[in-house]
Amino acid sequence: MRWSPSKVNKRTDLNWLTQWEYAHRGLHGDRVPENSLQGAKLAIEAGLGIECDIQRSRDDQPMVFHDWELSRLIGVQDDVADLDSSDLQRLHYRDSIEHPATLGQLLELINGSVPLLIEIKSRRGYDVVRSCHVVADAVAHYRGHFAVMSFDPRVARWFGRHAPHIPAGLVMREDEHGYTQKPWQRWLAYWFAKPDFLAYHIAALPNPWVVRLRAKGLPILTWTVNSPETRQCALANTDALIAEGAGLA
């Protein structure tokens, strides 16, 4: 199906969003691959929400995978977009029997037991609007709590216009790896996206602009909380943590 504003209702409240801590790419670690179904199972057992990454396979399936390339996690030289979903699922993560999962498989596993944050991957020249469509299709009949988010402000803007019942956030960082190093860039991205929440890089907190937005009622999440020190900072300055390793409670 394809979304149009006439077919959806405005989203309900977001109180659930800040009542959870989220396992960054699932509860991964020794021999448990990031973004794997095994990592999702462990997060559910630990009572944690789950954050995952989504990009498209060659046949336009939303795959739960972070890197554009397969080399780091699987050991082959292809990109995710080079292979159909069936080909990807015949591959295995290094030192694991786990294979890359589709978003549909992850949703089926979670089945509303914990909330899910779906980060839609984007980069220069990427058709991120197409990703918005395939993610919206995948979650069309899902009844658990979930939200989408992205570094790309087009994602929150698209969902706000075409699927406004789905909470959509803007992920933001200020270091050399982001696109919003300058204050005017951050404001422009925020103005364009009109997000329901921010997921802000922990290394850039505390931040006076974020403090003001939070005081006005905008939910503030942060990532990646991975140490006792970053956890202390996150608890003092944000509403919900996306954490891993030593940053987990």
* pLDDT at residue 179, rounded to an integer: 83
Phi, psi of 126 (to 5 degrees): -90, 140
Query: What pLDDT, on a 0 to 100 scale, did the predictor assign at position 12?
Result: 58
**5 band by pLDDT with thresholds 50, 70 and 90:** very low
Residue 3 has pLDDT above 60, yes or no: no
Which residue segments constitute the domains of the chain, with CATH numbers given? 18-247 (3.20.20.190)
Give the Cα separation of 108 and 212 in Å (integer). 38
Percent of the chain with pLDDT over 70: 95
What DSSP line would sit under 186-206, residue for residue? HHHHHHHH--SEEEEEGGG-S
For residue range 185-235, list pLDDT tens digits in order.
999 999 999 999 999 999 999 999 999 999 999 999 999 999 999 999 999
Q: Look up tokens 């050399």; give the residue.
A: 176
Residue 7 has pLDDT above 90, yes or no: no
| Per-residue model confidence as pLDDT tens digits over 83-139 | 999 999 999 999 999 999 999 999 999 999 999 999 999 999 999 999 999 999 999
- Residue 11: which pLDDT band, with cuts at 50, 70 and 90? low
* CB neighbours of residue 112 within 10 Å: 12
